[in-house]
Amino acid sequence: MRFSKKAILAELAKLYPDAGPELNFTNPYETLVAVMLSAQCTDKMVNKVTPAVFARYPDVASMAAATVEELHPMVKSCGFKSKANNIIETCRLLMLRHGGEVPRTMEELTALPGVGRKTANVVMSNAFGIPAIAVDTHVFRVSNRLGLAEADDVLKTELQLQKAIPKADWLDFHHRLILHGRRVCKAQRPLCAECTMQEMCKARRAQQRANKDME
């Protein structure tokens, strides 16, 4: 039996009606810094360090004047020293190129150090409400397992999802897929037996067919 993308979107909406960003931020500058810190780090950990960071460096100008020696100790629980370096360099470039504002386009955002396509998409959608689908490890894995995308890299996945999902749903879809990936469709051991989308899921159906062939 084939299920439509519409059915999958409806089930995701039913499962996670209030899904939203788990990072804490209040403006585009804070969004950018929080997302840069979140690479290969949990949102929970980022939320622990950002209150002190934003209290000491409340805007782009103050962060542009920071030194790595000052910032790194405050954010080192989020990983590499390069994160502190990239955040400061990015803010210096925002002062030079954008009058201290965070730009709104993919091209301008990805020209900043440490800002890749995923970070840019999160900033565009969460800070400015611009429709975008950020493909992180959860979105990549779950969308390909469900059959919403059929791609071996994140860029192809993003482009396929843009075609498959109505633009108005992109932001909610992104947050819902992340929650499903964290809670149910885990990387190593997906909880398929508990998943309410197992009949709609391409990977699950393929697994069941393979099991049957072996009987």
Catalytic center residues: 118, 136
Region of residue 99 (left: phi > 0; alpha: psi -120 to 50; beta: else) = left
Q: Does 191 contact ligand SF4 by CB under 6 A?
A: yes
Nearest distance, CB of residue 136 and ligand SF4, angstroms: 16
Binding mask 196-215 for ligand SF4 (x = CB under 6 A): -xx--x-xx-----------
Task: Give the residue, chosen from 72, 83, 138, 145, that forms a contact with ligand SF4 under the rule CB under 6 A.
Answer: 145
Sequential DSSP letters for 111-169? TSTT--HHHHHHHHHHHH--------HHHHHHHHHHTS---SSHHHHHHHHHHHS-GGG
CA distance linking residue 144 with residue 175, whole number of Å: 16
What's the CA gap between 182 and 142, in Å, rounded?
A: 10
Tell me whether residue 63 or residue 195 sits nearer to ligand SF4 (CB atom). 195
Cβ distance to ligand SF4 smaller for residue 8 or 84: 8
Which is nearer to ligand SF4, 29 or 173 (by Cβ)? 173
Residue 146 touches ligand SF4, criterion: CB under 6 A: yes
Q: Going along the chain, which residue ranges are E strands?
A: none
Contact residues for ligand SF4 (CB under 6 A)? Answer: 142, 145-146, 184-185, 190-192, 195, 197-198, 201, 203-204
